[in-house]
Every structure is written in C-alpha cells, then in structure tokens.
Amino acid sequence: MKILITGATGLIGRSLCRSLINEGHQVVILSRSPTAIDLAGGAAFRWEPVAEPPPAAGWEGVEAVIHLAGEPVAAARWTEEQKRRVRDSRVKGSRNLVAGMRATPRPPKVLVSASAVGFYGDRGDEILNERSAPGSDFLSEVCLEWETEAARARELGVRAAFVRTGVALSPEGGALEKMLLPFKLGMGGRLGGGRQWFPWIHIEDVVGIFLHALMSPAVDGPVNGTAPGIVTNEEFTRELAAALNRPALFSVPQFALRVLMGEMAEVVTASQRVVPQVALDTGYRFKYPNLKPALESLLKTRR
C-alpha cells in the first residue's frame, strides 16, 4: 500500500515509518524539511501545513493517509502566540490536508489522524471511553476542532479515524526521557497530589493502534490510544522508581508547577481515566497492557 504521512519526524512518526517500511509498504512524507528525512527508497515533499494544501505530486497513487503533524504541545510555555501555533498547526493543517484530498482525482480510501486524550479535559475518576463528551479547556477545544476538520474527509467517501493518544513512552525520547534523569538522581516524585489518572501507552502499542485503525474497516471515528492498565500518577511514579531501583521521595506541588509552567501545568496535573474501548472491541491485542512489563521493556532497550 502507498501511504502518505505527515509529522513523520516526530516520536510516533519515526516509529510508524519504520514499521510501515519493514512491512513492505511504500511511504510518502509531507514535511517542512523534506531534505532532512532518510526514507530508504520512499519519497518526501515539502509542505507548509498552516499555509497551503499539500502539493499535487505527493498524492499520486496514495491509498491511505496518516496525519500526525502539529506543533508539540510542550515545546514552550503557553503564551497566547504559542497557543495559536498549537491550534493552527492542527486545525488549519487538517483543513489544508483535506483540501488537498478534495483536489486530487482519486482521494485515498482512509485517513487516520492523530488526536489526543486532551479531548476529555480534567475529569477526575470518571471512566472515559470514545463516547464520552469533550472537556472545556484549551486542549479539549483544540482536539475537538482538530477532529472536526479531519472528519470532513468523509465528504469525499474517505473513512476517517482519530487516534486520541495518551502519554507515549518510548526509549527514543519524549516524556520518558524527560523523567529519567531526576529519577536516576533520586529526585523523582509525583506531580501535584498524585491521585490523577495517567493515561500512558508503550510506543509499540501506539504504532500498533495506528496500523490497526489504518487496516481495520471497523475502526471509524475516535479510538483511544492508551493502555488498558491505566494507573495514577503516584502509581506510575512508584513503578518507574522501582524499575530504576531508586527512591521516589519528592513531590512537586501544583502551585509550583503553575509557577514553572504557567497554564501548561494543567496538562500534567489533569486526571484522565481513559479506556481504549474501541481498540479492544475491534480486536486490537496490546503488547504491553500493563505498566511494569512496559517499563522493563523500555528501560532494557535504552541500556
């Protein structure tokens, strides 16, 4: 299958491209910096997501699209300008992507777009599945607009799925890398009260759910990209400290996080008890449903 991918240089995008190429698929990448990408035989085209639809040449023979492009949420403190970048990169980027599909003579058959569990907002102990209502904070609004724009692909007869990813744990960077140094120094600890639910997922299962959504006609609409064995922040802290054979004596109060991170502190202290109901109901089998073996796998890979 010939698959077009945006956001291929990110944590999830890199892993997805490797998996697709290893499985024999042909990958076409849209990127703001296409010359920086080594595709091992694939093709890359320059695209400015906020400014324009993708180039017509990139669509030739494309059967499916995986859309991951977006300004990293934690790239910088949330000024009004940074929030605009986060929103525009997703909302306008998705709008322009669908405009590109509309302009091509033969649109792809399926679009799998990234979204995030930020869709749900801070919901305490409420169990959240794909039918749960959105929250009302900044990220909830962004995710809702993001999915709404991507869903316009359905007007072209394209099946559209939205993977609401949790915190992807990878040996190659991302959240886990940021956590490891303080924990190795014995300075790791829970964030805020620690009772908030922490919707984690192993990178191999993130990739697996995207591929499942791509290949399975039963997946249409939102699918939660989180592990079934969800834990609280305090439980995650304890398991990571144990895996590293380090204590976890410290905690970062919520007011201190607010001082350090501003409004973005809401992301790390939000409680989202997310269940991957659609993935389970449509036959996806998790490689790492529980946290302890997931951390053992990830830390072993890093050594």
Q: What is the per-residue pLDDT for 301?
A: 76
Both tokens of residue 158? Answer: 């394209």
Could you please report the per-residue DSSP string of 8-64? TTSHHHHHHHHHHHHTT-EEEEEES-GGG---SS-EEEE--TTTSPPPGGGGTT--E
Q: What is the per-residue pLDDT for 15?
A: 93
Per the prediction, the chain carries an average pLDDT of: 91
Mean pLDDT of 230-254: 86
Q: What is the per-residue pLDDT for 269?
A: 81
Closest among 175, 240, 179, 178 to 206, alpha carbons compared: 175
Q: What is the per-residue pLDDT for 243?
A: 92
Residue 116 burial (CB count, 10 A): 25
Q: What is the per-residue pLDDT for 77?
A: 83
Mean pLDDT of 187-196: 81
Cα 77–Cα 80–Cα 83 angle in degrees, nearest 5: 70
Closest among 168, 200, 205 to 286, alpha carbons compared: 205
The pLDDT tens digits of the residues spanning 44-62 come to 999 999 999 999 999 999 9
Q: What is the per-residue pLDDT for 75?
A: 77
Percent of the chain with pLDDT over 70: 93
Both tokens of residue 31? Answer: 């990127």
Highest mean pLDDT among 25-34, 259-268, 291-300: 291-300
Domains and CATH numbers, the chain: 2-168+201-227+273-287 (3.40.50.720)
Q: What is the per-residue pLDDT for 38?
A: 64
Mean pLDDT of 219-239: 96
Mean pLDDT of 174-189: 81
Place of tokens 């790390």: 268
Both tokens of residue 53? Answer: 């639809």
Q: Is 234 left (phi over 0), alpha (psi -120 to 50) or beta?
A: alpha
Residue 14 to residues 7, 32, 47, Cα–Cα distance (Å): 9, 15, 18
Res. 255 pLDDT band, cuts 50 70 90 = low
| Beta-carbon contacts of residue 297 (< 8 Å; ≥ 6 apart) | 202, 288
The Cα–Cα gap between 115 and 104 comes to 25
The pLDDT tens digits of the residues spanning 60-98 come to 999 999 999 999 888 788 899 999 999 999 999 999 999
Q: What is the per-residue pLDDT for 41?
A: 58
